[in-house]
Amino acid sequence: MMFSDRALAIAAAITVLVLASVQIAGHRDRGGVLPEVRALQALVTQGDMDKATALSQELLLRHPYYRPLHFSTARVMAARGFASSTLEHLVLATAPDPTPSASLEVAALDACPPPEKRGPLPHPSDVRAILEDITARYPDDVASPVGQYRVERLSRFMQPAQRKPEDFLRRITDVPVQQNAHPTSASEYAAVGFVLDIPSGAVRQQDPDGIHTRALLEALGTTETRTPSCATASTSQTYLTVVASGQSPYSLAAQEQTLVGPAGSGWWFVAVAGEDQRVAAQSRFCFPDLGDSEPAFREWVDNLPRSSMIVGCASGGAVSGMSNGSRDMLRQMFGLQRIPAAETRLSYAFAACLQSTADTVEATALASDLPAVLVLEPGA
Amino acid sequence: MTMPADTLPQTRTVRVLSAMERYALYTMVFSLPLQGLAIVPGTTFTVTKVLGGLIVLLCVVRRILGREFPFVRTGIESGVALFALAALASLPHSIAPASSWAAASTLAQYLLLFYAVADIARNAAVHACVPGLYILAAAISGLGAVDAYFLGHIPATADTVVQHSHIRRIAVGMQDPNHQALLFLFAVAFLLFQERVWRRWPSFVLSAFALSSVLAGLVLTMSRASWGVFVVLVLARIAVAKRRMAWLVATGVVVLCGGLVCALMLPGVVDTAKRRALELGRGGDASAASRIWHYASVMERAEKSGPFGHGLDTAHIAIASLEDPLGERPAVTVHNAPLLLWLETGWFGLICYGWLWSCIWAALITAWLETRDNPTKRDTLRPYFAVLSTYAAVSLVMPFVYYSGFPVLLGCLIGATRAAPAARRAIASSME
């Protein structure tokens, strides 16, 4: 025989392995974008926006923080003329990775998904092109307080060396602040500092009257709510804020103290002792289907002092990924009514008393790129 | 009567063409479990697609040069012709003509590919290479999945998390973990049912390593249907073994030792696999739901689709308005190939599809009966029984109709059946 079959088979195997190696090397060169997102990118390039919209919504449920997906979705939204959604997805597409040292390592008490790959960042010039297009076509949307907040985040990505978030803060004045508002509390400064990634001291220094601070919080949909009764026995002068957003670390601020929670997936729960408002315990749960989450969570709660206030917060991805059974359990245990639907990918925070669900308070983010900020004013 | 290709008098050109065909076939077989990675650089074409076209071209040219009809006799012509007729009959009434014509074109390409592979696979030497190549490729895919899951050096072609249960599904090779699992099952079928891959110590060690890799890959796809079929394959292997007790004991030992090692070293994976298996019994599992209540609704719709159906590749449109008991529209396709074809090609298509399957089984069984004196040929045919059964079983819970691997493996199977009786006749004539 002219060619032995063994030689042909070896040649065939080598051919495929070489091609696969080329493909893997090319994948690294392309920054490792997921194949399904490449399919979306192809649809966007072809201009098939109907299919691209449907595919992007489907993919966002599976990869809520995947940056190339958000960038492609932003392009789709820009093409369809949705300025606010374009900015929302651009912010998520350019979100930086949280600094590991900035967040607490809180071990989850149930099974959590693996840390999601967030993919490569888009090129700043691509982001700038979309932003300029949107600004030219929809100046009012971009000039709104939320629009300004988003543009600030994008500017920080495009021109990191030239940005001073404090300067941005002073530009936020368009929101009508409540006339009888109280003096801005330390925890509100902390919350804004957390939202803008700057120290709360810098916020206070730039905005001693607190006008801009409260304006920004109101722009993000935050309204003050009364602290649940269990936490106010001896802390009537303490404000407390909770911030949950995307893949950034969660935070809890009380007076000058800020507790930074874990970044990434899962719910973060903090039990605040009623007597002195110190953190009595904290934990993280991801609530997968068929895990041992529900008995483990009930056991954790049962071991807390009965007079505690429990504060919980979750990113949009954590809310989307939890099981329906766990969602019902939390609703029943704490009287929660505003846990966002899975497909909304909205962050969420609540504070509730263990003894009673009568005065549970909740906060939901206005959009998937915005934080849920819960500001608790002291009780009477 | 058709003689095997390697017994025909051959010119140099024909021999070169024949070698090129075999090289292309081996490349295509090796690329099947790695399709998503085996892409022609600078294009979006898979090696399978490119070499499929090449094989058809080479085969037709070689046969014409050899003064033969361009397409080999396969013995299943009536099934193929009737199914092709049903597919064509579904086109005029299609609810999405463009999709249907594109699907018809795809099926026509698969048909040509099947005939070309069936011709090449009449060469007995091909069957000494195909199983080994396929097993090796599947083992590489399984190892790649292990690396992608634990180390992340190799990019997964599918890396998804099941919503709500946070279960990660990995595949290296295909973009659908369920599809990858089916390809792993074919490798398992070759490994379990072909005795010669276990005969010598080096082969035994390599096969054991390949089986471990394939099983690891199969676990990481988190495909419950494929896990079920795998268990059935193992039980079937034990049932047909001459030394059943030895097989049973060996299987028990492997399961116990393997399970113990995994439980100690990879408790997270074991827990995840357990949760994935238990999900099936939950009412809220969308995947299971898609395969249960969906069937009833789709059957109702298929009954109304008339003799010729809604047209090829229109199932997703035909069922788009279906609502589950909660009033939601699940974004899933029909996870059952016969039901899907019933919907698309009507009851005429369903009958033709059934006839095609009966022709394939008849060809395989006839070849099996004709080779009762030839254990080597039986060893070649046996894994194809398992491959075919695996595809049939998985087809009942998966929507793999427009899938290029099937015509390739079916061509190998039919080639093996056509080679077998000829070999037997050769033995008989030599005895005379």
Residue A321: which of B36, B128, B163 has the nearest Cβ? B163
What is the pLDDT, as a whole number, of residue A273? Answer: 77
- Closest chain A C-alpha to B165 CA, distance in angstroms: 4
Residues in chain B within 8 Å Cβ distance of A15: 27, 30, 47
What is the pLDDT, as a whole number, of residue B3? Answer: 47
Stretch 209-238 of chain A: residues touching chain B, C-beta under 8 Å: none
Measure the CA–CA gap between B304 and A280, rounded to whole angstroms. 64
Distances (CA, A) of B379 to A362, B4, B198, B358: 68, 19, 12, 22
Exposure string for A121-139, b = 16+ CB within 10 A, e = fewer: bbeeeebeebbeebbeebe
Residues in chain B within 8 Å Cβ distance of A36: 175
Residues in chain A within 8 Å Cβ distance of B165: 288-291, 323
- pLDDT tens figures, A127-139: 999 999 999 999 8
Give yes or no for B39 touching A (CB within 8 A).
yes
Give yes or no for A7 touching B (CB within 8 A).
no
Residue of B nearest to A61 (CA): B163
Q: Is the pLDDT of residue B319 over 50?
A: yes
- Calculate mean pLDDT across residues A275-296: 78
Give yes or no for B15 touching A (CB within 8 A).
yes
Residue B22: which of A8, A36, A342 has the nearest Cβ? A8
Name the residue with tokens 């595949």.
B171
What is the pLDDT, as a whole number, of residue A26? Answer: 76
- Calculate mean pLDDT across residues A284-301: 83
Of A107 and A33, the structure prediction assigns the larger pLDDT to: A33
- Closest chain B C-alpha to A13 CA, distance in angstroms: 6
CB under 8 Å to A26, separation ≥6 — which residues? B41
Q: Is the pLDDT of residue A325 over 70?
A: yes
- Calculate mean pLDDT across residues A192-221: 79
* Beta-carbon separation of A111 and B278 below 8 A: no
Phi, psi dihedrals of residue A349, rounded to the nearest 5° = -145, 150
What is the pLDDT, as a whole number, of residue B298? Answer: 83
- pLDDT tens figures, A334-357: 989 889 888 888 888 898 888 888
Residues in chain A within 8 Å Cβ distance of B285: 289
Residue of A nearest to B134 (CA): A13
Residue of B nearest to A31 (CA): B155
Residue of A nearest to B149 (CA): A114
Degrees, nearest 5: CA angle B160-A109-A321: 30
Closest C-alpha to A99, from A178, A197, A186, A12: A197
Give yes or no for B143 touching A (CB within 8 A).
no
What's the mean per-residue pLDDT of chain B? Answer: 86
Q: Is the pLDDT of residue A243 over 80?
A: no
Name the residue with tokens 């990191």.
A160
- pLDDT tens figures, B219-230: 999 998 899 999
What is the pLDDT, as a whole number, of residue B413? Answer: 94
Q: Is the pLDDT of residue A82 over 70?
A: yes
What is the pLDDT, as a whole number, of residue A159? Answer: 76
* Beta-carbon separation of B160 and A113 below 8 A: no
- Calculate mean pLDDT across residues A63-68: 86
- Pair B134, B32: CB distance under 8 Å: yes
A interface test, pick of B12, B14, B20, B27 with most A CB neighbours within 10 Å: B27
Q: Is the pLDDT of residue B377 over 80?
A: yes
- pLDDT tens figures, B26-59: 999 999 999 988 888 877 788 888 999 999 999 9
Give yes or no for B408 touching A (CB within 8 A).
no
- Closest chain B C-alpha to A340 CA, distance in angstroms: 14
- Tokens for B219, please give them: 């676990």
Residue B165: which of A2, A61, A288 has the nearest Cβ? A288
- pLDDT tens figures, B244-267: 888 899 889 988 888 888 888 877
Cα dihedral B115, B116, B121, B122 sign: positive
What is the pLDDT, as a whole number, of residue B82? Answer: 96
Tally C-beta pairs within 8 A across A and B. Answer: 130
- pLDDT tens figures, B400-419: 888 888 899 999 999 999 87
* Beta-carbon separation of B16 and A2 below 8 A: yes
Measure the CA–CA gap between B427 and B432, rounded to whole angstroms. 9
Residue of A nearest to B160 (CA): A62
Q: Kindly state the DSSP code that residue A309 receives in the 8-state scheme.
A: E
CB under 8 Å to B282, separation ≥6 — which residues? A289, A290, B288
- Closest chain B C-alpha to A322 CA, distance in angstroms: 5
Cα dihedral A258, A262, A264, A267 sign: negative
What's the mean per-residue pLDDT of chain A? Answer: 80
Give yes or no for B141 touching A (CB within 8 A).
no
Q: Is the pLDDT of residue B142 over 70?
A: yes
Task: Determine the straight-line distance between the first and last CA of chain B, rounded to whole angstroms.
Answer: 20
- Closest chain A C-alpha to B333 CA, distance in angstroms: 15
Give yes or no for A25 touching B (CB within 8 A).
no
Residues in chain A within 8 Å Cβ distance of B8: none
Q: Kindly state the DSSP code that residue B197 receives in the 8-state scheme.
A: G
**pLDDT confidence tier of residue B428, bands split at 50, 70 and 90:** very low
Residues in chain A within 8 Å Cβ distance of B19: 2-3, 8
DSSP secondary structure letters along A148-208: HHHHHHHHHHHSGGG--HHHHHHH---S---TTPPPPPHHHHHHHHHHHTS-HHHHHHH-T
Q: Is the pLDDT of residue B90 over 90?
A: yes
What is the pLDDT, as a whole number, of residue A256? Answer: 57
B1-10, B90-99, B111-120, B145-154: lowest mean pLDDT where? B1-10
B interface test, pick of A14, A15, A16, A117 with most B CB neighbours within 10 Å: A16
Q: Which of A250-254, A356-360, B289-293 has the highest mean pLDDT?
A: A356-360
- H or E segment at B107? helix B97-120
Residue A16: which of B16, B31, B157 has the nearest Cβ? B31
ipTM comes to 0.88
What is the pLDDT, as a whole number, of residue B5? Answer: 47
Q: Is the pLDDT of residue B381 over 70?
A: yes
What is the pLDDT, as a whole number, of residue B432? Answer: 41
A194-198, B85-89, B184-188, B323-327: lowest mean pLDDT where? B323-327
Name the residue with tokens 């070499």.
B51
Give yes or no for B164 touching A (CB within 8 A).
yes
Give yes or no for B146 touching A (CB within 8 A).
no
- pLDDT tens figures, A257-276: 667 777 667 888 888 876 66
